[in-house]
A and B are shown apart, each in its own frame.
Chain A
Amino acid sequence: MKKYFIKGLWQDHPALRQLLGMCSTLAVTTTVNNAIFMGFGVTFVLISSCFFVSLIRKIVPEEIRIAVFTVIIATFVTIVDIFFKAAFPAMSEALGPYVPLIIVNCIILGRCEAFACKNPIRASFMDSLGMGLGYTWLLVALAAVREILGFGTLLQKTVMPAAYQPLIVMVAPAGAFITLGFFVAIMNKIEKNK
């Protein structure tokens, strides 16, 4: 059971290794706050969708499985979206269309298709928990780098000396692409040195 959980954190990391779910990785990582909310949103949808897919895996005909998975995912995304709107309206505003876009986040469909529809519920749960947390740590790490360099703050608290000139480009789209590029390169470097 443990190995299903561990591999999502590093070995088969959904974003760094499989290059899935790039849109939200890049879009919401301007501040650590956004990243944490997005990470938990994705993890919740991932766990619940994989749970249901695994539950009904023996009764869904193969030909229509993708459509069924998509409807299951869309349902949970709608739940998350409505929950954010009601409980954290400011956060929902900040994340904008990226909460509904979790539907087409390929990590979720990818795990349903590659793992949950072939494995029992407990293994699917561990797998999706690992993948979700793996994704979350990357979002938070990326956001920390971008928020510190771009605003000079971390979790809205100033961390850089007063003389620091914020690098605006880090919170612009360009900074997102470049930072993620470097994360992937660092990952490759660590794997190569093993």
Chain B
Amino acid sequence: MKNLLIIFVSTVLINNLVLYYFLGICPFLGVSARIESAFGMGVAVIFVMTLANALSWLIYKFVLLNLGLGFLQYLVFILVIASLVQIVEMFVRKFSPPLYKALGIFLPLITVNCAILGASLLMVTKNYNFLESVVYGFAGGIGFTIIIMVMAGIREELEYSEVPSVFKGAAITLVITGLLALIFMGFSGIISA
């Protein structure tokens, strides 16, 4: 239990997928202009990342390793994610139209969100068991959501400030992300190795 809590806290705050592993930067830059859309993207990522980690772990452990096909993991993981996104999309459209309306446009984008594949690959390198992998996926999604929403809040304020014209757009967003990363470095004292 304590182990799972440590994984959760360190994944959300310290080894954040965006600020520490640089994963999911493209949606982070693309969808962080408005708070509502940032939240929608975040929820979709939490959803898919948790499921993808669970499914990839099972397939990796019981199919690929048993058959000695470990080298196929990249191919299998990306296919798991792509098909998972399709299934989730169909499922949500059928059973929860309001949720579909909120998440709909973000789901297809997730296939190419490297944070999802990154989380699956990291869970293999970290040698997590099933429960740890699921917690890792969930916490990774939460961490992504926190960062993208903080960024969206800052960018909404930025519209009212005078940014040097050459820094407008991506440049200032990257510099602010750097400052956020600096701030989050302060969390690394929470858990002592």
Binds A, one of B14-22, B38-46, B48-56, B87-95: B14-22
In the bound complex, CA of A60 to CA of B113 (Å)? 24
Interface size on A, residues (CB 8 A): 42
Contact between B174 and A104, CB atoms less than 8 A apart: no
| B35: interface (CB < 8 Å) | no
Decide if the interface of chain A is mainly helix, strand, loop or mixed: helix
Give Cα distance in the complex from A179 to B177, angstroms: 11
Decide: A82 near B181, CB < 8 A? Known: A22-B26, A181-B172. Answer: no
Instruction: Kindly identify, within residues 97 to 142 of chain A, every residue whose CB is under 8 Å from any CB belonging to chain B.
Output: 97, 100-101, 103-106, 109
Q: Tell whether B190 is near chain A: CB-to-CB under 8 Å.
A: no
Does B114 lie within 8 Å of A74, measured CB to CB?
no
- Residue among A104, A174, A185 making CB contact with B179, cutoff 8 Å: A174
Name which residue of chain B comes closest to A26, CB basis.
B22
Which listed residue (B78, B171, B178) contacts A174, Cβ 8 A?
A: B178
B171 near A82: Cβ-Cβ < 8 Å: no
Residues of B within 8 A of A172 (CB): 181-182, 185
Inside 8 A of B112's CB, which chain A residues have their CB? 104, 106, 109
Q: Can you report 25 A-B residue pairs in the complex whose CB atoms are below 8 A from each other?
A: A22-B26, A22-B29, A23-B23, A23-B26, A23-B118, A78-B72, A82-B71, A96-B125, A100-B74, A100-B117, A101-B117, A104-B113, A169-B182, A173-B20, A173-B181, A174-B181, A180-B174, A181-B170, A181-B171, A181-B174, A181-B178, A185-B167, A188-B166, A188-B167, A188-B168
Which residues of chain B have a CB within 8 Å of any CB of chain A?
A: 19-26, 29, 71-72, 74-75, 78-79, 82, 112-114, 117-118, 121-122, 125, 164-168, 170-175, 177-179, 181-182, 185
